[in-house]
Chains A and B, each alone.
Chain A
Amino acid sequence: MSFTSNPNLNKSKRFWQAFAFNSFRLLSFLVVAILVVILGFIIINGISVISWEFLTEMPREGMTKGGIFPAIVGTLWLVVGSLLFACPIGILSGIYINEYAKDGWLKRFIKLMTNNLAGVPSIVFGLFGMALFVNKFGFGDSILAGSLTLGLLALPVVIRTTEEALKAIDDSFRIGSLALGASKWQTIWKVILPIALPNIITGIILSVGRVSGETAPILFTVAAYFLPKLPTSIFDQVMALPYHLYVISTSGTNIEASRAMAYGTAFILILIVLLVNLLANWLRRYFGRKVKMN
């Protein structure tokens, strides 16, 4: 018996092993590199316009000067609004699908539909939101209509992550709680949800990332081309970062002059997503700890 009974075979095996390993490594470096280049490009071009003035002032002189304050505020409103809508409904749906719905065609159908919903292009959500919220419900172009539309977009993500987070929890927790005379809802509320929370939060944050960067859904439902004042109610229009970026890079009064503003806006948009992700990580760890200690 020998460890090298067929040296040729071993050679080819080793070659392919090394080849696969190295090419995968190369590919993943490539992905990272692309990301670094994109980020670097935006940061280098954008950081020069970032100033207190840029963050806190209204746009001026055909959006070539001043700041993007109303767009920042608008995006925050929309993110919060869409979450207020998507989280309760999404989490409750996820709970229903995983904890209550019996295996069968109804459950399969609901899951199929949520998956399909996740694949619908966002412009379609925009059209739907316009038809339903803006026109049919008569909300007009407003934070309310925009938030509901973005909320619909976030919904499948929230449902899916809730469902996955619940599915990952060992049944012995449920059984242990029920065996103590707890009702199903008490079991979910007091034992299961706290365990699932860190993962649900992650899902919600992921959807925040998506919602804050979407342009198409807000195009016909809330976004204002130029509106240098802050909203006073949920029936007002607002400016929003992604749409503002689109406007000043494609259809502003002086596109060349607003180029720097565009990079600055992109920078802030990325920064917001980044901060939100950091917050998510922190919350995850915080809740993760709390679940054990509590």
Chain B
Amino acid sequence: MHPEAHTHPDPHAPLTAGARALRIGIGGPVGSGKTALVAALCRTLAADLRLAVVTNDIYTTEDADFLLRNGVLPADRIRAVETGCCPHTAIRDDISANLDACEDLEHDLGPLDLVLVESGGDNLTATFSKGLVDHQIFVVDVAGGDKVPRKGGPGVTTADLLVVNKTDLAPLVGADLSVMARDAAARRGDLPTVFLSLVEDPAATPVADWVRGLVKG
């Protein structure tokens, strides 16, 4: 790896900062599989990347606790941010608590390659501020219906990677993946979309590959 390779211009960098970790936001509606994806990425990437996670739960530290219980990362690599009823505010309009969490992780753990920031489950309009993350992944699932990509919204249309998760459930809920693929392409132009089932691919292979490509950048 090239730990010092990321020299992103960062207006909010700590006073003494040099290079900092790459930050990737993971957003999407409630229950679409954001935490499951974070856990999969940690398991797949932890061997070769120095990584840490920031969670933004609405009510509790549920997401952070899940990651801890599943032993994907030691406790000191996971921070939970409280969002005061407004998960989208904490990742978009007022990113201060998330910036503090990212900086504290790097301060306490030494240089990192990657910080994953999971947003609280929100609606299709919630996206991350560019002041907080370098890239963002938007996770939707097939159980919400195959209309979701067609509905669009900033998450679906502008995320650097759209993940359509839980494809294993498609036959059960009558979701047509080809419709979702067509609508996603129409909404997103050249931006990539991947279909995923974390049940069938617990390593989240296509997403992990995409992330690796960015870190090696």
Indicate, yes or no, whether A interacts with B: no
Residues in B lying within 8 Å of A, measured CB to CB:
none
Residues in A lying within 8 Å of B, measured CB to CB:
none
